[in-house]
Structures are given as C-alpha cells and as structure tokens.
Amino acid sequence: MDLGPDDEIDHGAPLAPYKQLAAILTARIKRGDWQPDRAIPSEQQLVQQYGIARATVRRAIALLVEQGVLYVVPQRGTYVRRAGG
C-alpha cells in the first residue's frame, strides 16, 4: 500500500492505521511539510486531523522514532531528525 502526503487513513485497509499514519507522515516530511529539527503537529492535532485514536498516533510516532525519522524532546514535542543524524 503506497501512501502519499495527502492520503487519509483507510480503516478498511489491510495495513494497520498506525502504519498508514507513519507512511503519510514520512511522505509529508519528504515533501518538505516539516523541516529537520522542527516540530511536527502535536498528538492531539494529528488525532483531530486524521480521525484516529491517540494511541494510534503514539504508535505511529514510536515507529518513526525507531526508524530514525523523528525524535522526541520531553516536554517540547516530536521533531524531524536530520538525514544521517
């Protein structure tokens, strides 16, 4: 399932919603929606934008942190990691 930056979550798709969100966020980063060392929208903003549960957003963010795409700064937010950094 290839997801682009403007796609929405398809709850009927075989790919889990958190994986769909991770793919969409990655596509948005590649498109330049968020620059390195800049925050992405808050969990609550992503919940509202994509109509999914907060736990789903957290799982997607955790996946992208594990993959080295994002990093979390406690009490500040989630940021885009610099390529190679």
Q: How far apart are CA 55 and CA 33, in angstroms?
A: 23
Convert the pLDDT of each residue in 25-76 to its tens digit. 999 999 999 999 999 999 999 999 999 999 999 999 999 999 999 999 999 9
Give the DSSP H or E segment for 54: helix 54-66
Convert the pLDDT of each residue in 9-25 to its tens digit. 999 999 999 999 999 99
pTM tops 0.85: yes
From the number of C-beta atoms within 10 Å of its C-beta (0-12, 13-18, 19+), residue 58 rates as: middle
